[in-house]
Amino acid sequence: MASTVGIVRLLVVDDEPELASAVAGALRREGYAVDVANTGQDALDRMIINPYDLVLLDLTLPDIDGLEVCRTVRTDPMFDPATRILMVTARDSVDERVAGLDYGADDYLVKPFALPELSARVRTLLRRETTGGDAVLLAGELALDTARQLVSWNDESIDLTTKEFSLLRYFMSHQGEVLSQERLLEHVWDEMLDPFTNTARVTVGTLRRKLKAATDRDFIETVIGSGYRFVAPG
């Protein structure tokens, strides 16, 4: 099921492999976990299995029209109604845009588009879902700016990799919750990752050390046998 906060896993649905790859690559560089589907049926199958939080959906697909994919996601109880849908298509008539929104899309972007505009639309949907319009997540003096991709402690910047940033964003969006390694892999990484890897454990370890070095505080604690918990300063 898609999470109500901390959106980080995306699905790009487009029958143009080169465009889909370019969009997915651009979004991965911003720290998102991104999968790709080239048909409507593939998209629906993936959405049943994986906890996608935002779907970038082309309307013109070789099997099932994007409008029908959107309608199915919005009406079939197998799909999470909280999943955000951004329609990305060359159909630019007013009627087409109205139809997309009426079928349940959250936003609409017309091709051709600039990647920075696409990224901005994604960030807007993420802020709307995660923080009610506030782009900054806070834990005491620790601040994570989702729009500018910055982390700071007492206004001093903390240098993180894109994956460490995404992991911290997910932790800060679920403060106090025990998060299993499997849940972290589902929301912060994508299907290209070997599920038996120790990547999550290693990344949590490096993030924890960086936060400790910058703040002299332990924000992430290990819950033996269950996973990890992010604890804000009291």
Q: Tell me whether residue 15 is exposed, middle or buried, using C-beta atoms within 10 angstroms of its C-beta: 0 to 12, 13 to 18, 19 or more.
A: middle
pLDDT confidence of residue 90: 82
Does domain 9-130 correspond to CATH entry 3.40.50.2300? yes
Cβ atoms of residues 78 and 2 within 8 Å: no
Q: Residue for token digits 């990224």?
A: 119
Residue with tokens 């911003």: 30
Neighbouring CB atoms inside 10 A of 12's CB total 26
How is the chain split into domains, by residue range? 9-130, 136-230
pLDDT given at position 132: 41
- pLDDT tens sequence across 8-32: 789 999 999 999 999 999 998 888 8
The average confidence (pLDDT) of the chain is 84
Token duo for residue 71: 């309608």
Per-residue pLDDT tens over the stretch 25-58 = 999 888 888 999 999 999 999 998 887 889 999 9
CATH classification number, 136-230, choose in 1.10.10.10, 3.40.50.10090, 2.40.110.10, 3.40.50.620: 1.10.10.10
Q: How far apart are the first and last CA of the chain?
A: 31
**Rounded CA Rg of the chain:** 18
Return the pLDDT at 142: 93
pLDDT tens-digit readout, 167-222: 898 898 888 899 998 888 877 876 556 555 688 889 999 999 999 999 999 999 99
Domains 9-130 and 136-230 are alike in CATH topology: no
**At residue 133, does pLDDT exceed 60?**
no
78, with CB counted inside 10 A (0-12, 13-18, 19+), is exposed
